[in-house]
Structure 1
Amino acid sequence: MRELKNGVKIIGIDHGYGNIKTANTVTPTGINSYSAEPIFQDNILEYNGRYYRFGEGHKDFISDKTADDDFYIFTLMAAARELSRIGIYEAKIYLAAGLPLTWVRTQREHFREYLMRNKTVDFKFNGSSFHIEFVGCSVYPQGYPAVVEFIKEFKGTNILADIGNGTMNILYIRNKKPIESSSWTEKLGVNQLVIKARNAVMDSFGIVIDESIIEQYIRFGKADILEKYLEILNRTAVEYTKDIFSALKKYEYSPDLMKLYIIGGGGCIIKNFADYSSENIEIISDICATAKGYEYLAYMQFRRD
């Protein structure tokens, strides 16, 4: 969170399909709605007479994030988590958010209006009351903001791969400048690996493996299950990393001619399972890097104004 001289707080929110990230928080996108107060109180938001629990599972991929109310509810939750960290429950907020690279051109304004649907909003999160006034919103292309603060260090041709839960965004950066005409979005997010791994275990052993086990394995490279299951998970993860590099090569990625920066949740999969030389590949492990970049861009925008 960054603060302007007039007291307005800039909160960057990375609306992923797997996790909602702010500069300091990460929350899985599972969301359940209740008409009555839930029994267990952790991660509960109360808004417009309904209760929402976060963190159990992940939201399914949809090509339009404004298709339902979920990402708006996620926004309130994310703002509340950032504010509650410093004991603030009433604030004026400028939102800084993003969309996949090739979606920004056609969906930016609609997404901004969606996030700004209410100028003021009152709700409760984890028992605390919040009063927020949204004073504005900027929507940036995903991925690039994660490296913008140190882009001055880039040399020659670079390629950025933002591997999220739903999509992989690819962007060329030449001579420190992002090339809009050389940007693409592939539906090759981490969730594709989870689905393939789950199906592979089902095909081989006829059982359903919990997604949390798969996620633990691809994140840390280990899980407390039998070796026969680990072998399938490993094989599927290795195949997924090959698909990632095949997609990059489709867009003329060459490890001998450019440096590759990998950001997003998929970075740990490349680190744990890919066969690559680290000389020209840098994995940015900070999952909150994009949200921090959104805040930086919005802050610099106000400084220029």
Structure 2
Amino acid sequence: MKDILIGVDHGNYSIKTSNFTIPSDIINHGKIDPGLDDLLYFNNHYYSISRIHGTLERNKTNDERYFILTLFSIAKEILKRNASSNSTVVLGIGVPPGHYSSTTEDEYISYFKKGKTISFMYNNIDFLITISNVYVFLQGYGALAYTNCDVVDTTKFNRFILIDIGGGTIELVSVYNMCFDREKRYSLPKGTITINNQIIKKVSSQYALEISEEEINEVLLTNNSLIESAVQELIKNEYKNAALKTIAKARELEQDLMLTRSFFTGGGLKYMKPFFNEKNGVKMPYFEENIRANALGYERLLNDLLLGDS
């Protein structure tokens, strides 16, 4: 039986696979079946996916949450692909460049149970999954592998900066001839969850309003919000300031975004994209707007690696 290659992008805001995006939190219902539709049973406990994201985690191996979410992801992908629920899986995952080390890679490989067979039930279907291997990539490299834009064409550009905007952090790394420069990388603790938390506190303090993340997103993405204009301006200014800090950090990495091409990706890009423009110091950026680009790219990288081994 051929191994199933599954890329999983474990974000603080959401989990992405090639076909699905789910919030990054679970609800543990214990040993009693709550009678829900989207339900996973593992180690004598029933789990469902939360409607909202979980708490920020720098290291995704601290507890079982991201492993359970990965089981959801595997089950969904296997059913989507009409594959057997008794399958061997190769996982491709990512670690932020600013957090990566050989120790981190070993932790993630162990956490995701390389070489182990795992039994669970998803939506009343029994699964027996063997995770034969786990490949750990630098987060963002999946998006580069997925895209076909001119920035990644080394005959045109031998260097650029990759900026991955996530829920927990904004990752910056210089890229030379499609190789990450580990001496020029930085993890900026200004992801969308952090920004939204700051906005919620400021709006509560200054305007005595309890604003939600959904309402913040509505202000940033539509013109239909009923929120008063001063609050809308505060929201946009917080995101603009985060974009300006990102641009300044790029300069510290000796990458002036008026002189160097830039490749933007990540789930938080759609909220911050309007502020990365020439007026603010970014010339000719490329925006990879497919939120699942990293997961899709991990699968492409897995395919290349395994074909190379054959």
**Maintained 8 Å contact 1:148/1:293:** yes
User: Match for 2:97: what amino acid?
Assistant: L
Give the Cα separation in 1 of the matches to 2:240 and 2:99: 29
Which residue in 1 is equivalent to 2:109? Answer: 112
Of the three residues 181, 199, 202, the one matched with 1:200 is 202
Give the Cα separation in 2 of the matches to 1:217 and 1:112: 40
Which residue in 2 is equivalent to 1:72? Answer: 67
- The yes-or-no answer on 1:179 pairing with 2:175 is no
Partner SS state of residue 90, structure 1: coil
Give the Cα separation in 2 of the matches to 1:285 and 1:245: 19
- The yes-or-no answer on 1:144 pairing with 2:141 is yes
Give the Cα separation in 1 of the matches to 2:285 and 2:144: 14
**Maintained 8 Å contact 2:114/2:133:** no
Which residue in 2 is equivalent to 1:102? Answer: 98
Give the Cα separation in 2 of the matches to 1:55 and 1:42: 13
Which residue in 1 is equivalent to 2:237? Answer: 235
Partner SS state of residue 147, structure 1: helix
Give the Cα separation in 2 of the matches to 1:138 and 1:117: 9
User: Match for 2:261: what amino acid?
Assistant: K
Which residue in 2 is equivalent to 1:7? Answer: 2
Residues 133 and 258 of structure 1: is their aligned pair in 2 closer, same or farther, counting only changes over 3 Å? same
**Maintained 8 Å contact 2:97/2:187:** yes
User: Match for 1:300: what amino acid?
Assistant: D
Which residue in 2 is equivalent to 1:122? Answer: 119
TM-score of the pair, normalised by structure 1: 0.90
Out of 118-127 and 287-296, give the one that drifted further.
118-127
1:112-140 CA deviation, whole Å, 9 max, x = no partner? 00101671112222333222111111111
Give the root-mean-square deviation of aligned CA atoms.
2.0
1:229-248 CA deviation, whole Å, 9 max, x = no partner? 32332232222222222222
Residues 191 and 276 of structure 1: is their aligned pair in 2 closer, same or farther, counting only changes over 3 Å? farther
Residues 221 and 197 of structure 1: is their aligned pair in 2 closer, same or farther, counting only changes over 3 Å? farther
**Maintained 8 Å contact 1:213/1:223:** no
**Maintained 8 Å contact 1:155/1:176:** no
Give the Cα separation in 1 of the matches to 2:55 and 2:113: 23
Which residue in 2 is equivalent to 1:3? Answer: none
**Maintained 8 Å contact 2:24/2:53:** yes
Which residue in 1 is equivalent to 2:24? Answer: 29
**Maintained 8 Å contact 1:112/1:137:** yes
Give the Cα separation in 1 of the matches to 2:297 and 2:114: 24
Residues 223 and 28 of structure 1: is their aligned pair in 2 closer, same or farther, counting only changes over 3 Å? farther
Out of 111-120 and 273-282, give the one that drifted further.
273-282
1:5-62 CA deviation, whole Å, 9 max, x = no partner? x5111100011110100111111112211112225x2432111111112142112122
Partner SS state of residue 13, structure 1: strand
Which residue in 2 is equivalent to 1:60? Answer: 55
Partner SS state of residue 11, structure 1: strand
Residues 42 and 216 of structure 1: is their aligned pair in 2 closer, same or farther, counting only changes over 3 Å? farther
Which residue in 2 is equivalent to 1:287? Answer: 291
Out of 184-193 and 13-22, give the one that drifted further.
184-193
Partner SS state of residue 178, structure 1: strand
Residues 42 and 202 of structure 1: is their aligned pair in 2 closer, same or farther, counting only changes over 3 Å? farther
Residues 52 and 223 of structure 1: is their aligned pair in 2 closer, same or farther, counting only changes over 3 Å? farther
User: Match for 1:94: what amino acid?
Assistant: V
User: Match for 1:90: what amino acid?
Assistant: N
Give the Cα separation in 1 of the matches to 2:217 and 2:45: 30
- Identical positions, percent: 24
